[in-house]
Amino acid sequence: MNRSIGLGATILAVTLAACHLSKPEYATIDAWLLCDECPDSLRLAVKNIGGKAVHTLDQALIGPSPGRRANKAAQFRYSYAMLPSPAVSESAYVADLLSNYVANYQSHAAISLGDIRTSAALAALQRASDSAAARKYRPDVVKVINVVLALASATSFGGTVNGNAGAVSARFADTVHVGRSAGLGWDGDESVIVHGSPFADSLLVARWSPDSLAFLAVAPLGDYAVSVTGLGANSARQVFPLRVVPPGYASHTAATAPLVTVDSIPQTRYLLLPSRPGDTTDFFRFEPTATHAVTASVTASGLEPATLRWLTCPALTLLTIPGPTTSVTGRVIDEQGRRVAGAEVMVPGYPTSAVTDSTGRFVLSGIAVEAARTFVARKVGFHPTRTLVQLAADSVQLGVVDSLLTAGTAVNRHASTLTMPAGSCRLLEVLVPFGGGPRTLRLRLTSP
């Protein structure tokens, strides 16, 4: 009888020892949750603790305890007291840093649960994902949880991404090509989901063929999990990590506006806006002439409302470039082809300007020929226009745009919508005031 009880107690002790964390293991987890310069070895050490750590990490995913938050708040209040002339209130200072602290704590817990990847760990992540609102997770924490969950709970993608196996980087709005691997069923109903992207409808499948598809990498810069769904006869899901990196974006001028084929509407374009202080203006050119109205809408959460303007495409004017000299001649006409007299033509950066004569002609001297120049034509009653002229070319176009169309702005979700009537070639000008928040803009073009 005694032997039997002793064996039972031994099994119980072994079970509990295997389940309970030792003091050093607690310390390791704590160090990982709290570190501000976090070596990979620490993350690996938590991973190696394995399933025993799940309960503690699950608790940590909820967030630091009230006692820990109180301690941290006290630290930040002390720090604030040391500032000679703080630029914010104590409450704002403490709240901001406490938010960072809690988010870091939760994110590290999520990452380690993904590393451990047991069913209990995945269940903890799923609970966190399901109760993100109730737990008041910060958006960046929600993203980490969703990405970790997606990566940890699915099979790694067996095909190729941009020709490579495994993780890839893509510049913002670049097309990412997903290819079938040998033996992977691919019947044409495959699609992709970018987990963690705040742009729920940002995935534009550009095309798919019997063994590949492509989509646009449209999400704020950072790391994402991409699921490829509908694979094979069982519509299985596989996943690969994607890092979105800066595109080196430069906005277009009217002269360099990318062509939007009206026949291809509806379509969506994405811009990752440059973040240098100052407004951003971009242009899109619509050709051929639309036979139906086109509605453009811009949404960009976190940005100031964008302003949209439809401009007629510049009227054609023939310029004669007298070779690589310093004089440029040309003529300005309006959109009906009538000669415009008295219009001022100038090149920004040059002190001289010219005024068109009664036939609309002008001569500008002293212009260097080594590069493209922007010519500006303006006259009272007309809206000024800018045209990029490659001075090495034999001829260029210079025009004056017609009247300003009304701009629609709405503060809700910072969306702007404007409809272009059918009938003429148009330029769409998108003006985005500089502001904080995500610098990503979505332009949707639809036709009633």
Partner 1 sequence: MWPLVRRRYALPVLLLFAHGCGSCYSADRPEPPSTSDVTALKIAPSTVFVVPGAIFVMRARILDGLGGVLPSHPDLAWSPGSGLSVVSKGADSAVVKANMLTSGTSLKSTITAQLGTHNAAASVTVLAQTAAGTNDIALGDNRNAMQPDVVLLDDLTAPIPIDDSLIAFVGIGLLGNLSGGTGEVARFASDQAFYREPVSWQVTKDVIDMRTPPPGTGPEPVETRAPIVATFRIWIASSKTGISTDADNDVKYATRVFRRERTGVALRALRLSAGKLGPITLGSGTNLCADIRAKLQALDVPSPNTSLAFSKESLNVVYVDDVVLPPTSPEEVLTPHGTAGYACPPDLVAAGAGTVILISAQRRGSGTLTHELGHALGLHEPESGHTNLVQGFSYTNMMWNSAGDIGTAPRSTFSLGQAFRINMDDHSWLHFVTGNTRNCDSTKVDRSCPPLEKEFP
The residues in 238-297 that bind partner 1, with binding defined as CB under 8 A, are 239-241, 243, 245-246, 248, 274-277
Other Cβ atoms less than 10 A from the Cβ of 8: the count is 10
Helices and strands (H, E) in the chain, number of each type: 8, 23
423 binds partner 1 (CB under 8 A): no
Beta bridge partners of 205: 215
Tokens of 97: 């840093």
| Dihedral sign computed on CA atoms, order 101, 107, 111, 114 | positive
For residues 226 and 232, what is the distance between their CA atoms, to the nearest angstrom? Answer: 17
- Residue numbers 161-180 binding partner 1 by CB under 8 A: 166-167
Helix residue spans in 20-50 (DSSP H): 23-34, 40-49
348 binds partner 1 (CB under 8 A): no
For residues 228 and 178, what is the distance between their CA atoms, to the nearest angstrom? Answer: 9
Give how far Cα 217 sits from Cα of 176, 181, 229, 244, 407, Å: 6, 21, 17, 7, 29
Whose Cβ is closer to partner 1: residue 153's or residue 317's? 153
Contact segment (CB under 8 A) with partner 1 among 96-104, 198-206, 210-218, 393-401 equals 96-104
SS3 109: helix
For residues 135 and 400, what is the distance between their CA atoms, to the nearest angstrom? Answer: 57
Residue tagged 């924490």 (tokens):
141
Contact segment (CB under 8 A) with partner 1 among 35-43, 229-237, 334-342, 361-369 equals 35-43
Tokens of 173: 């709005």
121 binds partner 1 (CB under 8 A): yes
Question: Number of residues in contact with partner 1, rule: CB under 8 A?
Answer: 101
118 binds partner 1 (CB under 8 A): yes
Q: What are phi and psi of 97, to 5 degrees?
A: -70, -35
Q: Which of 101, 186, 310, 375 binds partner 1 (CB under 8 A)?
A: 101
Tokens of 142: 């929600």
String of contacts with partner 1 for each residue 198-227, x by CB under 8 A: -----------------------xxx-x--
Contact segment (CB under 8 A) with partner 1 among 29-37, 174-182, 333-341, 422-430 equals 29-37
Whose Cβ is closer to partner 1: residue 197's or residue 387's? 197
String of contacts with partner 1 for each residue 132-151, x by CB under 8 A: --------x---x--xx--x
At its nearest, how many Å lie between partner 1 and the CB of residue 18? 6
Q: Do 345 and 352 meet the contact criterion of CB atoms below 8 Å apart?
A: no
Contact segment (CB under 8 A) with partner 1 among 38-46, 341-349, 393-401, 405-413 equals 38-46
At its nearest, how many Å lie between partner 1 and the CB of residue 434? 11
At its nearest, how many Å lie between partner 1 and the CB of residue 442? 17
- Residue numbers 304-343 binding partner 1 by CB under 8 A: none
Contact segment (CB under 8 A) with partner 1 among 27-35, 335-343, 353-361, 395-403 equals 27-35
15 binds partner 1 (CB under 8 A): yes
At its nearest, how many Å lie between partner 1 and the CB of residue 319? 31
At its nearest, how many Å lie between partner 1 and the CB of residue 228? 13
Query: Comparing C-alpha atoms, which of 246, 273, 244 is closest to residue 176?
Result: 244
Whose Cβ is closer to partner 1: residue 31's or residue 341's? 31
Residues 269, 175, 246, CA angle at the centre, nearest 5°? Answer: 80
Contact segment (CB under 8 A) with partner 1 among 16-24, 181-189, 260-268, 340-348 equals 16-24
For residues 262 and 286, what is the distance between their CA atoms, to the nearest angstrom? Answer: 6
Burial 147-166 (b: 16+ CB within 10 A, else e): bbbbbbbbeebebbbbeeee
For residues 430 and 227, what is the distance between their CA atoms, to the nearest angstrom? Answer: 33
At its nearest, how many Å lie between partner 1 and the CB of residue 255? 22
At its nearest, how many Å lie between partner 1 and the CB of residue 413? 18
Give the type of residue at 423. Answer: G
158 binds partner 1 (CB under 8 A): no
- Residue numbers 390-419 binding partner 1 by CB under 8 A: none
- Residue numbers 53-92 binding partner 1 by CB under 8 A: 54-56, 59, 64-65, 67-72, 74-76, 78-88
SS3 335: coil
